[in-house]
Amino acid sequence: MYSKDKMLITGGHPLAGEITVSGGKNTAVAVIPAALLCDAPCTIENLPDIDDVHALIEILETLGAKIDYVPGKYMTVDPTNAKGYHVPYKLTKRLRASYYLLGALIGRGHHAEVAYPGGCDLGSRPIDQHLKGFMALGADIDDRGGMVYAKADKLVGGDVFFDMVTVGGTINVMLAASKAEGNTIIYNAAKEPHIVDLANFLNSMGARIKGAGTDVIRIRGVQKTHACTYTVIPDQIETGTLMIAAAATRGDVTIHGCIPTHMEALTAKLLEMGVRVTENDDSIRVRPQGVQRAVNVKTQVYPGFPTDLQQPMTALLCMANGVSTVCETIFDQRFKHLDELRRMGAKIRLVDRTVLIDGVSELYGAPVTVTDLRAGAALIVAGLMAKGVTEIYETTYIDRGYERIEEKLRLLGADIRREKI
Ligand code: EPZ
């Protein structure tokens, strides 16, 4: 990635105060392509001002959509003259979620040519289930030369049974099926909060989707959709990252604008460690006290412990009292942060897909490199805990998914800044 700047953190400052979380990245990257299914301009609010959003603006404009974007306020998408259906690699390599253009373009005009995505390297990330879903709706799929070519004379609703729970697959089939003829049922659907958010957005433009948030989603295709205004949900993973950072620095942080029910798996783990967590309607307060006990974590699909919080949680557990285990069941190579944590003094072993963490009494600042978005979150948490200065390179990954994260942490008392390399 070769970022032009590095992040410098001097650890040991407890985070204290109040912060408001941004809109959700993983909901934004689904809702923005979904705007192509609208037959009139639609307005989306509470989007995070992150690079993934900027990349999607460029992609939609390339397809002919007109975008009016005021960061931190709203984005209006007018897709009425979007005739394009080709999305080249130079655009798709900027974000994993570019594959949602397949579902949106197939749903909109029954024709899509989208290069395979880029995004975080977490091991093999096939999209066979997405393609299986499109074919179940009647699309012809040709997958060659790093491109997916999809075409359908007409899209007819059908049943899709996913071999495994896939967030991307569920979202992509919802996009393609929303304007198909007839009914589609998705079995073994993902239940993440951003799946529900996307269904609510599509329904607000006139789609007819039921069951989002359960493992069976029913979609009754519609021919016409209408203008709408929608506010996306807060970022579940940023909320969790800030909760973990508060626990890691033994601070006292209240996170506003979040949805506590989305955080239950993490909240339960922090309580198990002995961290005080109190929930209100739309805020969570994290107030660590005394010893933080080692725990065992196993990532699961929602509502289980999110894989996207596995990496920052691993950093927190490096200084827990005792031996913790973190088992990653979703991705086969989501462990690139371990080497970097070891450079900071962490005692970590990887056995198959389980990290064994022997809690130490101190971590030490060191130069470290970000390998993927949530590895970046892990290194920020470790830097906040460590004695001395941590230099974090390849910060571009972090900017893809966290809106002004160092500004938020500085507001809470962290000694964190960027420096040109
Ligand atoms: C989404 O990725 C998120 N990305 C990921 O967040 C998140 O970690 C993941 O869901 C799980 O919650 C976005 O929303 C943009 P999956 P996705 O399809 O859709 C396998 C972040 O940090 N699989 O649920 O790619 C796959 O290899 C990112 O914000 C197939 O085998 O995840 C994985 O092992 C990282 N074939 C498992 O299923 C398929 O066709 C779950 O993947 C699809 C998936």
Average confidence (pLDDT) over 240-258 = 98
Structure tokens at 349: 């072993």
- Which of 42, 120, 228, 258 is the catalytic position? 120
Q: Using a pLDDT cut of 90, give the percent of the chain over it.
A: 95
Answer yes or no: is pLDDT of 118 > 90. no
Over residues 152-195, the pLDDT tens digits come to 999 999 999 999 999 999 999 999 999 999 999 999 999 999 99
pLDDT recorded at residue 125: 83
In whole angstroms, what is the distance from residue 183 CA to residue 220 CA? 4
Q: Domain range spanning residue 91?
A: 25-231
In whole angstroms, what is the distance from residue 193 CA to residue 215 CA? 13
Average confidence (pLDDT) over 122-142 = 93
Q: How far is the CA of 175 from the centre of ligand 1 (A)?
A: 16
Answer yes or no: is pLDDT of 119 > 70. no
pLDDT recorded at residue 398: 96
Active site residue 42: no
Structure tokens at 259: 């949805």
Strand pairing partners for 139? none
Q: Are residues 200 and 272 in the same domain?
A: no
pLDDT recorded at residue 120: 67
Q: Are residues 205 and 298 in the same domain?
A: no
Q: Which of 94, 162, 167 has most ligand 1 atoms within 8 Å of CB, for mutation? A: 167
Q: Are residues 9 and 37 in the same domain?
A: no
Q: Are residues 297 and 212 in the same domain?
A: no
Q: Are residues 401 and 377 in the same domain?
A: yes
Q: How far is the CA of 116 from the centre of ligand 1 (A)?
A: 14
Answer yes or no: is pLDDT of 197 > 60. yes
Ligand 1: atom nearest CA of 129 is 40
Contact indicator for 274, 291 with CB cutoff of 8 Å = yes
pTM over 0.95: yes
Q: Are residues 362 and 382 in the same domain?
A: yes
Structure tokens at 35: 């705007």
Residue of the CA atom closest to atom 28 of ligand 1: 308
Q: Encode the chain in three state secondary structure.
A: CCCCEEEEEECCCCCEEEEECCECHHHHHHHHHHHHHCCCCEEEECCCCCHHHHHHHHHHHHCCCEEEEECCCEEEEECCCCCCCEECHHHHCCCHHHHHHHHHHHHHHCEEEEECCCCCCCCCCCCHHHHHHHHHCCCEEEEECCEEEEECCCCECCEEECCCCCHHHHHHHHHHHCCCECEEEEECCCCCHHHHHHHHHHHHCCCEEECECECEEEEECCCCCCCEEEECCECHHHHHHHHHHHHHCCCEEEEECCCHHHHHHHHHHHHHHCEEEEECCCEEEEEECCCCECCEEEECCCCCECHHHHHHHHHHHCCCECEEEEECCCCCCCCCHHHHHHHCCCEEEEECCEEEEECCCCCECCEEECCCHHHHHHHHHHHHHCECEEEEECCHHHHHHCCCHHHHHHHCCCEEEEEEC
Average confidence (pLDDT) over 3-15 = 95
Q: Are residues 352 and 247 in the same domain?
A: yes
Q: How far is the CA of 332 from the centre of ligand 1 (A)?
A: 11
Return left, alpha or beta for 189; rule: phi > 0 is left, psi -120 to 50 is alpha, else beta. beta
Q: Are residues 174 and 245 in the same domain?
A: no
Q: Are residues 115 and 208 in the same domain?
A: yes
In whole angstroms, what is the distance from residue 146 CA to residue 115 CA? 6
Looking at the structure of the chain, the number of domains it has is 2
Write the burial class of residue 325 (CB in 10 Å: 0-12 exposed, 13-18 middle, 19+ buried): middle
Query: Which of 231, 255, 287 is at the close of a domain?
Result: 231
In whole angstroms, what is the distance from residue 23 CA to residue 237 CA? 10
Find the residues whose C-beta lies inside 6 A of ligand 1: 25-26, 29, 96-97, 120, 124-130, 164, 166-169, 190, 192, 307-308, 330-331, 373-374, 401
Q: Assign 70 a pLDDT band (cuts: 50, 70, 90).
A: very high
Query: Which of 178, 204, 231 is at the close of a domain?
Result: 231
Q: Are residues 389 and 297 in the same domain?
A: yes
Residue of the CA atom closest to atom 14 of ligand 1: 26
Q: Are residues 212 and 275 in the same domain?
A: no
Over residues 259-293, the pLDDT tens digits come to 999 999 999 999 999 999 999 999 999 999 999 99
Residue at 210: amino acid letter: K
pLDDT recorded at residue 121: 76
Over residues 302-359, the pLDDT tens digits come to 999 999 999 999 999 999 999 999 999 999 899 999 999 999 999 999 999 999 999 9
Query: Which of 205, 231, 257 is at the close of a domain?
Result: 231
pLDDT recorded at residue 293: 98
Answer yes or no: is pLDDT of 33 > 90. yes
Residue count (the chain): 421
Over residues 83-110, the pLDDT tens digits come to 999 999 999 999 989 999 999 999 999 9
Contact indicator for 256, 393 with CB cutoff of 8 Å = no
pLDDT recorded at residue 3: 85
CATH of the domain at 328: 3.65.10.10
Q: How far is the CA of 317 from the centre of ligand 1 (A)?
A: 24
In whole angstroms, what is the distance from residue 115 CA to residue 149 CA? 9
Answer yes or no: is pLDDT of 1 > 60. no
Q: Are residues 220 and 343 in the same domain?
A: no
Q: At what angle do helices 100-109 and 25-34 cross, to 10 degrees?
A: 20
